[in-house]
Amino acid sequence: MEFTKSICPLCKTPIDAQVNIRKNKVYLRKRCRDHGGFEALVYGDAEEYLSSARFNKPGTIPLTFQTDVRDGCPSDCGLCPEHKQHACLGIIEVNTGCNLDWPICFADSGHHSDGYSITHEQCARMLDAFVACEGEAEVVMFSGGEPTIHKHIWTSST
């Protein structure tokens, strides 16, 4: 249906990708020169996907950037000055530890031997950077890991 840019999930090299529709589902297909082809379901209802295009609008550039353009996307992530959209949602990962032990975790959280918990000062710097980028930031989400086991977030009343 259209072409876009993506990255190889293994080596992170930017590659061309196709957005294809089959049996009313939307798939992203791409091929890395070194790691072969990949295809993933990205939307379960192609009609809904197409009709959501009416909500597309031009991106809004952030007020400041945190990194320089040096090695190219996605290696310069910061946001870098090549980025064309401000951060709609700020996410602060307060820790990497988790006590839930679910078999699948999109954040790859768990009992990392090299895990971390951020300090108040680090959190303040992150919030300041977010506000500097956004001006009036609308939403920030504290994530992890499992944020409720961070010693500065959850204090039990029992």
Q: Report the interface residues with ligand SF4, using CB under 6 A.
A: 73-74, 76-80, 82-83
**Which two structure tokens, joined as six digits, stand for 88?**
């709609």
Q: How far is the CB of 33 from ligand SF4 (least distance, A)?
A: 20
Please give the Cα distance from 6 to 19 (Å, whole number): 11
Residue 80 or 118 with smaller CB distance to ligand SF4? 80
Compare residues 79 and 118 and give the one whose CB is closer to ligand SF4: 79
Q: Least distance (Å) from ligand SF4 to the CB of residue 74?
A: 5
Residues facing 36 on adjacent strands: 32
Residue 98, classed as helix, strand or coil, is coil
The DSSP element (H or E) to which 128 belongs, if any, is helix 120-134
Identify the helix (H) or strand (E) that includes residue 131: helix 120-134
Q: How far is the CB of 12 from ligand SF4 (least distance, A)?
A: 10
- In the numeric block, which tokens belong to residue 35? 């790691």
- Least distance (Å) from ligand SF4 to the CB of residue 73? 3
Our CB check for ligand SF4 shows the closer of 24 and 85 to be 85
Q: Which is nearer to ligand SF4, 44 or 59 (CB)?
A: 59
Between 11 and 100, whose beta carbon lies closer to ligand SF4?
11
What Cα–Cα distance (Å) separates residue 66 from each residue in 90, 101, 122, 124? 14, 34, 15, 16
Rounded to whole angstroms, how far apart are CA atoms 71 and 12? 12
User: What's the closest the beta carbon of residue 79 comes to ligand SF4, in angstroms?
Assistant: 4
